[in-house]
Amino acid sequence: MNWSDRYVGLPAVKLGRGWQGVDCWGLVELVYREELGIALPSYAGDYADPGEVAEVSRLINAAEARGPWVPAHVIRPFDVLTFGAGRFRSHVGIALDARLMLHVHGSDCAKLDHYRAGRWQHRFRGGFSYVEGGVQ
């Protein structure tokens, strides 16, 4: 059994942060808490709001310089994958390996998708590894 099996089918719930349902960041937060014992900020922002999309973009982009998120040059399990259109990163998923991700998008339940193929390949903006304590 893969760790991701626990989350596949979890309902999509706007601003959801737990087993009752999650949005894309809520899924990242839940997986990091349950599987890695890492408490990430809740960030209960609405991804449809351009201001919140910019906040997610700043959260990930600003981290490139000072952690705890660092760019993942080779994608590994639990790396956070960012997706978007234009300059904003508006969606996140969690890498299972170099081709599959676990994510929640729109009203779909949590599922596995190929992020290097289909609709996601052109939206993929990068992957980020969490480094404990922000040390690069």
The burial class, CB within 10 Å (0-12 / 13-18 / 19+), for 121 is exposed
Give the CATH class of 3-134.
alpha beta
Q: State how far the Cα of 136 lies from the Cα of 70, in Å rounded to an integer.
A: 7
> Residue 95 has what pLDDT?
97
Selected residue with higher pLDDT from 27 and 85: 27
Mean pLDDT computed over 36-54: 64
Straight-line distance from the first to the last Cα atom of the chain, in angstroms, rounded to the nearest whole number: 32
- pLDDT tens digits, one per residue of 76-127: 999 999 888 666 667 899 999 999 999 998 888 999 999 998 889 998 988 8
Residue ranges covered by each domain of the chain? 3-134
> Residue 63 has what pLDDT?
45
pLDDT band at 135 (very low <50, low <70, confident <90, very high): very low
> Residue 6 has what pLDDT?
96
- Helices vs strands, H then E, count in the chain: 3, 8
Average pLDDT, the chain: 81
Asked whether residue 45 carries a pLDDT value surpassing 80, the answer given is no
Quote the strand ranges of 20-109, DSSP E.
21-22, 69-71, 80-85, 88-95, 100-103
Q: What pTM was computed for the model?
A: 0.82
> Residue 48 has what pLDDT?
45
CB 24 within 8 A of CB 7: no
Q: State how far the Cα of 91 lies from the Cα of 85, in Å rounded to an integer.
A: 10
pLDDT band at 59 (very low <50, low <70, confident <90, very high): low
